């Protein structure tokens, strides 16, 4: 997260967000939540990316039983552009398709044009917006969805 967004945010707001969202207690809580699942990608012994899926009440916005949230998907900057993110996204789609959920959804910062394009190229479409706070800074995220009905691997 830090690699992707530190340069585009106020340093004080960004630090406040990191301290709240990625504190040890917050991470432990997320790891122990039975409605959240984490998946890690390694190259050798190096962690190069991870993703987090949420269902039911663990979802950050939509709480419906027909959806699964891709809350986080990150690749370490030096490994971006190597197809890792695309493989991770396909893995998330496969996992989601094995459930009885109708769609996979995510939130992406409206100013993150590269990520929006990436998700659109991978079958996601915009369906709404919601606020996302980085410290005291109210930002807007596009909500994007991928329909799992009739999903087959491209």
119 is catalytic: yes
Please give the distance of CA 11 from its chain centroid, rounded to a whole number: 22
The one catalytic residue in 74, 91, 119, 133 is: 119
**Three-state SS for 84?**
helix
Cβ distance 81 to 127 under 8 Å?
A: no
Rg (CA), the chain: 15
The Cα–Cα gap between 17 and 70 comes to 19
Cβ distance 54 to 71 under 8 Å?
A: yes
Tokens standing for residue 67: 């959806």
Helices (DSSP H) in the chain: which residue ranges? Answer: 2-5, 11-21, 24-32, 84-97, 113-121
Cβ distance 127 to 143 under 8 Å?
A: yes
Q: Report the catalytic residues.
A: 119
């Amino acid at each position: 997260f830090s690699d992707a967004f530190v340069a585009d945010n106020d340093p004080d707001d960004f630090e406040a967000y990191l301290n709240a969202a990625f504190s040890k207690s917050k991470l432990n809580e997320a790891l122990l939540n039975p409605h959240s699942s984490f998946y890690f990608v390694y190259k050798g012994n190096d962690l190069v990316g991870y993703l987090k899926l949420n269902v039911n009440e663990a979802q950050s916005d939509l709480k419906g039983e027909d959806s699964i949230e891709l809350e986080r998907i990150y690749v370490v900057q030096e490994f971006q552009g190597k197809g890792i993110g695309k493989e991770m996204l396909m893995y998330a789609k496969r996992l989601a398709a094995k459930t009885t959920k109708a769609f996979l959804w995510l939130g992406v910062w409206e100013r993150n044009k590269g990520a929006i394009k990436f998700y659109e190229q991978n079958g996601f479409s915009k369906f709404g917006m919601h606020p996302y706070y980085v410290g005291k800074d109210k930002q807007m995220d596009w909500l994007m969805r991928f329909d799992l009905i009739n999903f087959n691997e491209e």
